Amino acid sequence: MAKSKSGKPQPLMLDDRDHRFAAEENPFEAMMYRFDDAATRLNLEPGLYKVLREPEKQIIVSVPVLRDNGEIEVYTGFRVLHNRSRGPAKGGIRFDLAVSLDEVKALAAWMTWKCAVVNLPFGGGKGGVICDPSSMSDREIERMTRRYTSAIIETLGPESDVPAPDVNTNERVMAWIMDTYSMHKRHTVTGVVTGKPVAMGGSLGRKDATGRGCLVVTLCALAKKKMSAEGATVAVQGFGNVGSTAARLMAEAGMKIIAVSDKSGGAYNPKGLDVAGCLKWTGGGKLLNNYKKGERVTNEELLTLKCDVLVPAALENVITSKNADQIQAKIICEGANGPTTARADAILDQKGVYVIPDILANAGGVTVSYFEWVQDRGGYFWDERTVNERLEKIMKESFNEVAAMAGEHKVSMRIGAYMVAISRVAAMHRMRGVYA
């Protein structure tokens, strides 16, 4: 942590860590830069700084899979538990060729801060397998899922590590994980994963939870900026579950969705798009760059459109030092994990763009995952209205707590969110002490 001549901690300047950003897209270093800045502002004790900076456990496993053609392929899998001082690790499992240990470490740490910022009794975890699921049959994916589950089974459990769906995984994969774990335990354990089918102990409201959380915090931000939600213009990059749900709910709240995109590009109409029509179009397997009721727009162009609210809900590192100065949105609600780099943060701050950071903006998903875990453990399930009301309450309270921290320390909402999260995890460590 940087110190002044007087020995007092000073907030980090970006130039202090230029070597970290030679490759601006490194997710772990980007996350740790924000952590370092927040920890410095909190005057975090050196010992606690060391504890919170390092993952608690990193697991690398080989995952041999019998392919349908009779050949054996061996994949590499990871599971990282970042911090479990506040409760069991919580975090998704992704199947993707881009999975790496650095990425999984970053996402596990993000989950620690995300759970803490919305004050859930969870720590952070993340996992993944390096593979191309698009080249695999359903049976091959099932075999891989079950073998990966058995390889990390010692860390799994409702009180130790609770996975969820992530990139290229879904409720079906969670069902296989739950079944594999339950077979090893010789009894059904529904609480070992979240994001399961409702018939297996999943929660109502889970599918819309992340997008609904984005809506709630966006409404809070509009109110804080004294902007009306009615007619506020919104551009959404990414039309998967999070982006499409956010667009639909924001339209229902009276906002005007002027642009949406998927991997192909997107559609733009300054007078507003028919979101229901976009959903029907993509539901039929069609790509948004061919949507007939709007002008074509690339994903890069969408980010720089003039709008009140920009929702990057697709990939990491889409707002960088190369395009941040072209952003025209007044508010950014980060539906994706890590869509903005640390260098871009500095530019957006200078421009006065109000950024609702990922660890707050997209925490609706993990919040309803928490609800699912609670319902599984209690054996009593809530109706969807109850789920949505409790989600809204937590998201509003968390937004206000982060805004208060940011205002008190005159920092961005992102650093304010990290400060709230780190202070909560650090407080738990102080109370628990160090086992020796």
Give the active site residues: 126
Residue 357 DSSP label:
-
Tell me how far the alpha carbon of residue 157 is from its chain's centroid. Answer: 22
Side chain identity at residue 96, one-letter code: D
C-alpha span between 257 and 250 (Å, rounded): 8
Instruction: Residue 64: name the closest of 169, 177, 147, 173 by CA.
Output: 147
- The answer to whether residues 24 and 398 touch, using CB atoms and an 8 Å cutoff, is no
- The answer to whether residues 257 and 307 touch, using CB atoms and an 8 Å cutoff, is no
Q: 3-class SS at 398?
A: helix
Which residue do the tokens 């997710």 mark? 27
Strand partners, 64: 74
C-alpha span between 67 and 40 (Å, rounded): 50
**Residue 354: both structure tokens together:** 């109000």
- Edge-first strand order for the sheet with 233-237 is 295-297, 265-268, 256-262, 233-237, 309-312, 331-333, 354-356
